[in-house]
Amino acid sequence: MAGGVAMNESRLFPTTAARRYDRGLHKSLKLNPPPPHVAVPQPTGYWPEENVVFLEQYREWLVSIGAAAAVINQHRLPMAGHVLGLNLKPHRQISLTNDFDKALCFVQARTTSASWQQNCQHSLNWFRRFVKEARGLVIRDTPSFGDGARYQVGLPSWLMEQLTKLLHIRQANWRPARLAQATYQFWYKTTRIWRWLFTHTLIQTAQDVTRDHLFCYIDEQLVAGYKVSTVNHDLHTFQGTLRFLQQQGIAVPHQLLTLPGLKKPQTLPRFLSNAQVVALRDDLIQQVKQAQTSSAQRNSRLDLAAFYLLWQSGIRVSELEDVRLFDVDLAAGVMLIREAKGLKDRSVYLTERVTTTLQHYLEVRGPALTDHLFIYRHKPLSKDLIRNRLRAASERLGFRVTPHMLRHTFATQLVNAGAKITTIQALLGHERLNTTMTYARVHDQTVRDDYFRAMEQIEGEQTDVLGPKLVSEDVFALLDKMEQEGLSDEQQQVLDEVRRCLTL
């Protein structure tokens, strides 16, 4: 896919961090220009060359610690670019205080919301951390997904003590590879309603929370444009913390625990049609054929092997990222998924096509600092790398593709092929059968075939009873011609009766 990504990025968006920043800066200044007296960051053409390289290194660093692409492009890179664009000197000479403050002043001088400015401040902190590491002022140990401490600000000590206990209980069931990410998301999700309550109300304890408080929160979120599913998830998470507090002997209003969520539409999982799967497969195979360099060959074979595993094994993308070399037995056609969701191990099977593509990938995989099956630049795959590469393929093909859509497709195609639902449950690693039914009910080919077979039988029975309802226009044309030839009264009566019978 490497060749396709380069072609696509050149058409849709810049391929380097510098070009992306320049385009974003130009658009931003055009839509929301700062006051005349405010210093404006300069585009990268005015920077020292080493600063342009430094910005690219920063983006790679963000990717390596698991930052999402949207966060990198919308928040992290712009603020780093503002620092470098407002201080046209080598990055080693940039002050971590005064020079960084210039970027924040530039943001604050424009018409932006308080939450946006807070995100900008947070992004400055991330860039400051990277600069410190580059200068050897701090030593990076374990990659961090994000700083969850900012979601704890303003919460009382009694609540923090209980939430920390809950965190430790939850961590026992989290995979080590996802510990940092899950911890960050715990603080972000678990404190959402609590942060709102302590900011917008006068509550002091859990006993002070009322249903009206929650109704106000729900209304505010809906007005802000959040989806029903998001609001319901917030409410469900909040009620989970209330039940935990109750177990710890803290008084909790019972009516809060019985508050139902909003009714949400019955949506179905999204999957790919057979034609779309074939188009995606052919596109990825074409990328392998077109790869000219060793790097492009390695990346394109990685994409194809990952696609086949996601599609024909139904594994989650997080499971794909964690697979180790010793978990794969190509000769037996089996792969072990260790510590999957719920810390459960399971086996999945590999078709001949999957094993072949994996063998082709392993031929060019190269050395690595880890024993992970899939690597990128000698390191384990970062979060969202496979998702982003499938997105590039979807841009080429004109339809949306995500790793989880391939999982949906896997389950749906197995059902349509007549596989037992319990077999699909085992392959997907579902604890409850109802979860598997949610994946499998989206497009049951058996139901479709039964429907059309029944309709053909019904229409056939109606035809046998009522006779054919449609008469060729040629018959009426023939009757009209006979009328023009001059008929006797008796012949005309017969002709009229024939016409009447045909039109019943």
Bridge partners, residue 324, by sequence: 372
3-state SS class at 139: coil
The token pair at 453 is 């077979």
Q: Give the other-Cβ count within 10 Å of 253's Cβ.
A: 15
- Known active-site residue 448: no
Which of 69, 102, 82, 92 minimizes the C-alpha distance to 24? 82
- Whether the pLDDT of residue 485 is over 70: the answer is no
Which residue is catalytic, options 128, 341, 360, 499? 341
CA distances from 215 to 167, 218, 220, 228, 256 (A): 27, 5, 9, 13, 11
pLDDT, one tens digit per residue, over 75-122 is 899 999 999 999 999 999 999 889 999 998 998 888 777 778 888 888
Which residue is catalytic, options 151, 217, 376, 439? 439
CATH of 274-446, one of 3.30.70.20, 1.20.140.10, 2.30.30.40, 1.10.443.10: 1.10.443.10
* 8 pLDDT tier (thresholds 50, 70, 90): very low
CA distance 75 to 117: 10
Share of the chain above pLDDT 70, in %: 82
Angle between helices 385-397 and 274-290 (to 10 degrees): 100
- Residues 319-329 have a mean pLDDT of 92
Q: How much is the pLDDT for 437?
A: 74
Q: How many helices (H) and strands (E) does the chain have?
A: 24, 5
Which residue is catalytic, options 132, 150, 404, 441? 404
Mean pLDDT over each residue of the chain, to the nearest integer: 83
Which residue is catalytic, options 129, 389, 407, 408? 407
- Whether the pLDDT of residue 504 is over 60: the answer is no
Q: How much is the pLDDT for 12?
A: 35
Burial of 51 (0-12, 13-18, 19+ CB in 10 A): buried
Residue-range domain boundaries for the chain? 2-134, 148-257, 274-446, 470-504
pLDDT, one tens digit per residue, over 429-470 is 887 777 777 665 555 566 667 677 777 777 666 555 445 445
How far does CA 274 lie from the centroid of its chain? 21
Share of the chain above pLDDT 90, in %: 45
Q: What angle do CA 456, 461, 467 make, to 5 degrees?
A: 115
Q: How much is the pLDDT for 446?
A: 62
Which residue is catalytic, options 110, 281, 316, 360? 316
With tokens 């005309």, the residue in question is 492
Which of 112, 109, 45, 115 minimizes the C-alpha distance to 81? 45
b or e along 199-224 (b: 16 or more beta carbons within 10 Å of the residue's beta carbon)? eeeeeeebeebeeebbeebbeebeee
Residue type, 353: R
- Known active-site residue 404: yes
3-state SS class at 390: helix
- Known active-site residue 407: yes
pLDDT, one tens digit per residue, over 48-60 is 999 999 999 998 8
Q: How much is the pLDDT for 148?
A: 76
* 474 pLDDT tier (thresholds 50, 70, 90): low
Are the CB atoms for 206 and 250 separated by under 8 Å? yes
pLDDT, one tens digit per residue, over 126-173 is 899 889 888 877 644 444 556 678 889 899 999 999 999 999 888 877
Q: Which residue has the higher pLDDT, 194 or 379?
A: 194
Residue type, 413: Q
- Known active-site residue 200: no
- Whether the pLDDT of residue 233 is over 50: the answer is yes
Bridge partners, residue 334, by sequence: 329, 349
